[in-house]
Amino acid sequence: MELLRLSALFALTALAEITGCYLPWLVLKQGKSALLLLPAAASLALFAWLLTLHPAAAGRTYAAYGGMYIAVALIWLRVVDGVALTRWDVTGAVIALVGMVVIALQPTAG
């Protein structure tokens, strides 16, 4: 159950970060309205707040989060950008997620 809760929190955190970075990309690279910078800022603020909800020390949270970020970024690539994933994308995401699990669910001292 803990793994499911942590995974959902990591996925939501990654989605907030990617959204917060994608919207300015649209403004700068595709000439979209600068008004997109407002929800981008809100999304990045949400991202920062969500990071505070993780139970581990900040560095460990960031390390474990990286695995989920990779997986969510590849899902974004497929769903938003419409780019087909390769077996290498999927294999890399699985490896990264295994790393996330190892880091996030390590035994605690004491």
Q: pLDDT tens across 32-67, in order? A: 999 999 999 999 999 999 988 887 777 888 888 899
- Give the pair of three-digit tokens for residue 73: 């970024």
pLDDT for 63 equals 86
pLDDT for 65 equals 87
**Alpha carbon distance, N-terminus to C-terminus of the chain:** 22
88 phi/psi in degrees, rounded to 5: -70, -40
pLDDT for 75 equals 97
pLDDT for 32 equals 97
